[in-house]
Amino acid sequence: MLAWFAFGAAKPAPPQRIIAIGDLHGDFQAWTQIATAAGIADQAGHWAGGKSILVQLGDITDRGPDSLKIIRSLQQLQAEAPQAGGQVIVILGNHEAMNLLGDNRYTTPGEYAAFVDERSVARRERLYGAIRKQLEAAEPGKRPSQVRDEWLARTPLGWVEHKMAWGPSGELGRWSARNPAIAKVGSTLFVHGGISAEYAKLSLDAVNRRVAGAMASADDSPKSMLSDPLGPLWYRGLTGRDPEAEQIRAVGPPSPHLSVEQELDTVLSAYGAKHLVIAHTPSLQGIIIQYDGRLARIDTGISRYYGGPLSWLEIVGDNLIPHTVKRIVQ
């Protein structure tokens, strides 16, 4: 006699749904449009993705004014998603590392303004008072009032708070240092810039540990993983010719020349993965899927700074599905 439970077979669990989003560069409106269109956030900004996994591939900051809003949104979703069985992974980008290291070449006035509060004027005055003698000594030919005016012009309100928040011990610096440089979800690898054959010799844990250590110590030395052209934050060799990486290789130990496809296969084999998803190098024509789906390039210049399409990559099982949504112009 058959037991009652033998009449039915358990249905296999549906494949995990992953949503991957590339560089946002301070465009909060673009971020919210993509998040709602992809079904991972509702109109109020709360998690709506159920058991989905969201992977944002870094470069939230710079070029646009609203990276702080995007970070707060991602932090909220990071807290909410696990309650529904989902997850939010934010990959470390080179621009987050640049902010931590004090390299603000691409930081816009709006980025500083986002940090202004009722005590910003007093904080800036205290800082000027602490370094006034040093500033005046550096420019002996100028009147003290001129030195002060010029310093104020290049130190907007919010600059002090921005620097404090992004320092290694600041709230955003510590948050960024906790974000992985490389993540593996199922059979897919996610990294901001790329993974070189040299770095593929290290385990994922080793890479993430070393990058986190460099962030915690604000390592801006020439050999730092935060600035290495072969490292995960900057490597472009999987998108084409990378002159900076080639220069490093030219002075390093001899190594066999690999084509892009050979290097990609080396990386995937090293980590037991089927797909690699990268950002960092803009493709304004949209998401590019290459080498029979083994490589997906998802930085499409989402920010208004670039004006590329608003896009995201959906991964279900072994299917890589690019999506776009029309930009709302305000």
pLDDT for the residue numbered 252: 78
Rounded-to-integer distance, Cα 190 and Cα 93, Å: 11
pLDDT for the residue numbered 2: 43
Q: Which tokens hold the place of 178?
A: 């906790």
Rounded-to-integer distance, Cα 185 and Cα 195, Å: 16
| Nearest-10 Cα torsion for 236, 240, 243, 248 | 60
pLDDT for the residue numbered 308: 98
Q: What residues contact 93, with CB distance under 8 A and at least 6 apart? A: 23, 57, 58, 59, 60, 61, 192, 233, 279, 280
pLDDT for the residue numbered 12: 64
In terms of Cβ atoms closer than 10 Å to its own Cβ (0-12, 13-18, 19+), residue 181 is buried
In terms of Cβ atoms closer than 10 Å to its own Cβ (0-12, 13-18, 19+), residue 311 is buried
- Per-block mean pLDDT, blocks of 10 residues, the chain (330 long): 47 82 98 98 98 98 98 98 98 98 96 98 97 96 96 96 98 98 98 98 98 98 95 97 92 84 98 98 97 98 98 97 92
The pairing of strands 17-21 and 310-316 is antiparallel
The 10 Å Cβ neighbour count of residue 121 is 11
**Helix 159-166 with 120-138: angle, nearest 10 deg:** 90
pLDDT for the residue numbered 7: 47
Q: Which tokens hold the place of 96?
A: 């987050």
**Within 13 Å and on the Cβ side, how many CA atoms surround 193?**
25
pTM, entire model:
0.93
Q: Which domains does the chain have, with CATH numbers?
A: 14-113+180-325 (3.60.21.10), 120-157 (no CATH)
pLDDT for the residue numbered 232: 98
Rounded-to-integer distance, Cα 295 and Cα 290, Å: 5
